[in-house]
Structure 1
Amino acid sequence: MTTMKRPEDAPAAFQAAWNAHDMTALGALFDEGATFVNRFGHYVQGVDEIVALHEPIHQTIYRDSTLKNELIDVVPIADGAVVIHFWSRLAAGAAHPAGPHEVDTLILAVLTKQDESWRIRALENVTLTNPRTGEPVLRG
């Protein structure tokens, strides 16, 4: 399980848990009372709900998916609290009903320091789309 010693570790830690399809490791990245908004606007609160949101999709449509995350910035907002932004590219595999495809999202997360590690307190994931058509857009 990955411990985030710095806020900059969050994108790689999230990526590692996703790519291992290890929802226990994913849940461990979050503060117990954390909130999570997925790319479809589904809001959940608490580690148990965050894990429950992800477990079924990692057993089915995303069981062969991978993420590649790239840190954009870390913005301190208070002592022991930061906002981070990172790009995330989801590569869905053959298990997805739409077949293999990629989706880019922009993730905003608030992290707080707890003892010697950092935890995600809130995370929101936004799919990149063409504002005129709603079609997904891949960056770069």
Structure 2
Amino acid sequence: MSEMTRPEMVAGAFQAAWNAHDMTVLGGLFHEDATFVNRFGHLVRGADEIVALHAPIHQTIYRDSTLENEVIDVIAVGSDAAVVHFWSRLTIGAEHPAGPHLVDTLIQAVLTCNEGLWLIKALENVTLTDPRTGKLVLRK
């Protein structure tokens, strides 16, 4: 895993771990007591639980998926904390029961820095949907 030396590196690091389907690397992006809210509103606490949430889907329905992330902004909260927002496009392959499709989400990650290295303290992933219909919305 490449170490995150700037908070905005989180988008690329998360993307690389996902696309390699390497849940050990994914877990290493988080503080041991971090929280994660997936796009369905499921909250877990702790790096081990975050890995446990992702490992089964990366062995099955998301094993042929890829992510493409794009940083929107980085908001400094002092010298050792930041909030990073980034777009995430999930390309889901044929392994998924619904077949190949795209899902766009907006991710908010809170990171803190210790000895020059940034780790995720909290992350929330929100699916883009039309509030009137509930249908998925894709970014252009």
State the TM bucket, normalised to the shorter chain.
over 0.9
**Unaligned 5+ residue runs, structure 1?**
none
The answer (yes or no) to whether the contact 1:15–1:69 under 8 Å persists in 2 is: yes
Normalising to structure 1: TM-score of the pair? 0.99
Give the Å deviation of 1:79.
2.5
1:121: which partner in 2? 121
Which structure 2 residue ranges, 5 or more long, are not aligned? none
Give the length in aligned residue pairs: 140
Moved over 4 A (4+): none
SS of equivalent residue, structure 1 residue 78: coil
Contact residue 11 and residue 71 of structure 1 kept, 8 A: yes
- Report how far residue 53 of structure 1 moved: 0.1
CA distance in 1, matches of 2:48, 2:29: 12
> Is 1:33 equivalent to 2:33 in the alignment?
yes
| 8 Å contact from structure 1 (residues 109, 121) kept in 2 | yes
Aligned to 1:61: 61
Q: Does 1:95 align with 2:106?
A: no
What is the TM-score when the length of structure 2 is the normalising length?
A: 0.99
In 2, distance between residues paired with 1:106 and 1:10? 14
Partner of 1:138: 138
CA distance in 1, matches of 2:2, 2:53: 20
Q: Give the RMSD, CA atoms, in angstroms.
A: 0.5
Q: What are the superposed Cα offsets for residues 83-107 of structure 1, whole Å, 9 maximum, x if unpaired?
A: 0100000000000000000000000
